[in-house]
Chains A and B, each alone.
Chain A
Amino acid sequence: MVDPAIFEHLQTKINEDSAVREELRSKTQELEKQGRTTQSILSRAHSIPVAQIQATVSDAEKSIFAQVSTIGEISGVASNQPYYKYNSMWTKHMQDTVFSIILCGWLGGFKHVREESQALLTIENVGEILKGKTPDRDAFHLTIEEYLHAMISLIEELARLAVNSVTLGDYHRPLEISQFVKDLHAGFQILNLKNDSLRRRSDSIKYNVKKVEDVVYDLSLRNLILTTKSENQS
């Protein structure tokens, strides 16, 4: 009644699946570890004046390139599989990596992929850094959702940086940040998000925008913002 091949076949499938997961698991753990290193380098930005940030940015770039090579290895394994089958194993780490990349870019890094005046690395810039593929192929790539998650993390981080810039005596940077996060917020507002993790996290954007506005308010109330023509820098 039962063809034994049925169950042999199922077992083979299960074992293949496990082997792929095992391989991906060890690589994503490596990526996670490297990601923590990058984050700790980037968090120095909160206590370093803009003028001296370049060394930190270079360190961060180096650490990110180590992550990129791990992502290359994950990509090597994942490209042989349907993309979304294992996507959930690395998507969180991918978000964190992209966050590090765009934060580093905002701080002045990755000059080779962007215009001098460009504050936010586009998804294409990030793709170039990751050496990723275009999203149409059923292979490893960066998804829009991952990029948007990274942007939300960037907004959170910049809200903190606005406060800390003031502590460092930098009263100009909060203005740049304020304009930047408002522009990003405007972008998020035109998205039709469904009730998913992106939606829940994007709810935090308005609070972070307000946090930055409050810093700007405190500064302007006390006439700490110089009336210069620099407001369009960002």
Chain B
Amino acid sequence: MPEAKRRRLDSAVEQNTMEPVSAPSPFLPTFESFRNELDEHHDRRERIVKASHDITALSKKIVRALQAPLPAAVAKEIEPRTKTINELFTNVAPDLRGIDAWRYQRQISGGIQEFIEAISFRHYLQTQRLITMDEAQAEIPGGVELTADDYLLGLFDLVGELMRFAVTNMATTGALPRGSPEEVDGGGQGRDILTDLRYIRTHFEALDTSSSGVPGSFSGLKKDAGKKMGVMKTCVEKVEKAVYEMIVRGRERPKGWMPGGTEDRAGIPREVVESF
């Protein structure tokens, strides 16, 4: 119907008023320059989204490898992946320079958070320390900026990995992973992973994110941190519960027995951890 009407309209216009409209729009040159700029913008955006996805996938693989028990094999596995991630960052870096760093922050953010999770986990396994923001920034090549938000959200995810690592370790060796014995804290015992988890939890809880974000608008950190806070607390409690069970039933517990009893060997923390 609109077509028919338009045809009638055209003929009416021709007959009654003016010549048919044939001159090209005077705005075309302007729109052509807009088109070029927007096309460049969309291309950059897509390159960054792609890089972010690839970095996420590779970081997840690194994390999985780090959970495995054989250090030599782990190093062999994560090395090429780290190399690929470095290349991805280096290649995408020109798209994230200057003004574009924040323009596409939301596109790259996912990849960076996942990468922070991977390197902070590796850093903890190697040094039993939490990676600092400067150290983390130094691991990202090409000058891609690490924002405080991404760093923080990556650390939240680290807690999930530490939980999984602790529980697996207790199940296979019958003991909680421990720092080197010369490091002694108040109780006269070596510091263990649960001490560290609780310490991180305390710091996370003390962090005040309530003022960040815009009410009624997109609000990155407050919302994300709120969600991850709950997961993080659950993770710490899982380790506490597992330690409790190990102590209570420790004597009769044969090696290889898993806390909780009903879960099968592979099933304990895996799906919980994979989901964030």
> Which A positions have Cβ atoms within 8 angstroms of B?
1-7, 9-11, 13-15, 17-18, 21-22, 25, 82-85, 87-89, 120, 122-123, 136-138, 144-145, 148, 175, 179, 182-184, 186-188, 190-194, 210, 213-214, 216-217, 220-221, 223, 225, 227, 231
Contact = CB atoms under 8 A, between A and B. Distances in A.
Contacts of B30: 122-123, 187
B130 A2 contact: yes
Interface stretch (B17-25, B237-245, B250-258): B17-25
B212 A190 contact: no
Given A194-B42, A225-B17, A137 B207 contact: no
A223 B15 CA distance: 10
A22 B6 CA distance: 52
Contacts, number: 151
Chain B interface secondary structure, helix, strand, loop or mixed? helix
A183 B8 contact: no
Interface residues of B, number: 60
Contact of B101 (A18, A82, A193, A210): A82
Most B CB atoms within 10 A — which of A144, A187, A213?
A: A187
B99 A187 contact: no
Contact of A225 (B16, B191, B206, B209): B16
B47 interface: no
A6 B28 contact: no
Nearest to B193: A1
A227 B16 contact: yes
A14 B102 contact: no
A190 B17 contact: no
Contacts of B2: 210
Nearest to B29: A187
Contacts of A187: 25, 27-28, 30-31, 34
Contact of B217 (A6, A83, A89, A122): A89
B34 A83 contact: no
A165 B45 CA distance: 43
Contact of B5 (A87, A136, A137, A217): A217
B199 A17 contact: no
B130 A6 contact: yes
B261 interface: no
Contacts of B195: 1
A190 B32 contact: yes
Most B CB atoms within 10 A — which of A1, A9, A13, A138?
A: A1
Nearest to A124: B30
Contacts of B19: 231
